[in-house]
Chains A and B, each alone.
Chain A
Amino acid sequence: MNKFIVLLKKEFVQMLRDLKVIWLPIVFIFLGITQPIVTYYLPSILGALGGGQGITIDPSMTAQKGGEVLAATLGSQFDQLGFMILVISMMGIIQTDKANGMLAFILTRPVTVISYIAGKIVSNYLIAAFSVTIGYFVSYLYVNYLFTDVSFSHMITALLFYLVWVLFIVSFTTMISTIFNSQGIIALISIVFLIGCRIIVGLSPVIDFVNSASMSKHAMEVLISGSVNSKAIDNALVTLFWIVLILFVINYWIANKKVNHE
């Protein structure tokens, strides 16, 4: 436990040095602001710049409910650009340690592989969750100001659901980062796989059940309809199961020295 704290501290020092603590939250604040503002001003922007003589703009677009806009923040900002940025910022999470020999060095010390992995994932998850939460809160404030109010309990529930999905993103990227050696391939595989997961949500109930990305859909549903889908808890448990499985794979991979450190 003590070593875990030390490794955690090392990760945070590294992030502070990379300025990741500053820019990742800012990026998510930026994404969070974008959706409400663009939705709010889209009709007037189109009207002003689109050469819009003769175009009528559907008034129902401006009359969106707050919950729908907040759900769109999750669905079309955080789940696309936001999560790509998340993956790209974390693609080197273990790969850099492999590349510069840090991993081999750490493993010569009396440090268990588990505490090393836990330090990595916990620190990166904390910063990712912090960024997502901050961006989401800013979006929430804007939505309440520009559209109808979203109830606080719905907002928190949706956030919790979404953070489960973020945890899956973080651990999956860590696993890919452990297995592969090139940053480009890591980013490509993670992004393609996770976007694939996100796209196939809603195709069939069976796939949805094992698909972690449906947590994101549940979060959006809470915001739009205001009721929690009964499958959400099952999905959260399945996601946790996947995460534990991923941890085992990482542990196995590192412990059996399958990492070839050039």
Chain B
Amino acid sequence: MWKMQLHYGFDELKNFDFMAVIPIILPFIAVGIFLVLLALIDLYRYRKTRESVLMWTVIILFVNTLGPILYFVIGRKDSERL
């Protein structure tokens, strides 16, 4: 079963010309990572005053694109009341 999936997934990827793709996709990935890093750094700086640091870390890391945004909009506001 696993072999089947590998065949469909990764074997086919070898036909993919990665070197041609990287210069185009790199800015895309960089922007995404920058957003995540910005949120994480901010969370780390104010870790003392934030309510649920662990929850936000998980959300920022694993909820694609929307995680950091949710943190900036909702996650930062909670701290002001403290």
Contacts and interface: CB of A to CB of B under 8 A. Distances in A.
A75 to B, nearest CB: 19
A29 interface: yes
Interface residues of A, number: 28
Nearest to A26: B35
A37 interface: yes
Given A18-B76, A30-B31, A89-B73, A51 B21 contact: no
B58 to A, nearest CB: 19
Interface in A19-41: 19-20, 22-23, 26-27, 29-30, 33-34, 37, 40-41
A88 interface: yes
Interface residues of B, number: 25
Interface string A88-106: 1100100010000000000
Interface of A: 18-20, 22-23, 26-27, 29-30, 33-34, 37, 40-41, 44, 47-49, 51-52, 85, 88-89, 92, 96, 142, 145-146
User: 6 shortest A-B CB distances, which residue pairs?
Assistant: A51-B8, A33-B28, A48-B12, A30-B31, A48-B16, A23-B72
Interface of B: 8-9, 12-13, 15-16, 21, 24-25, 27-28, 31-32, 34-35, 38-39, 42, 65, 68-69, 72-73, 76-77
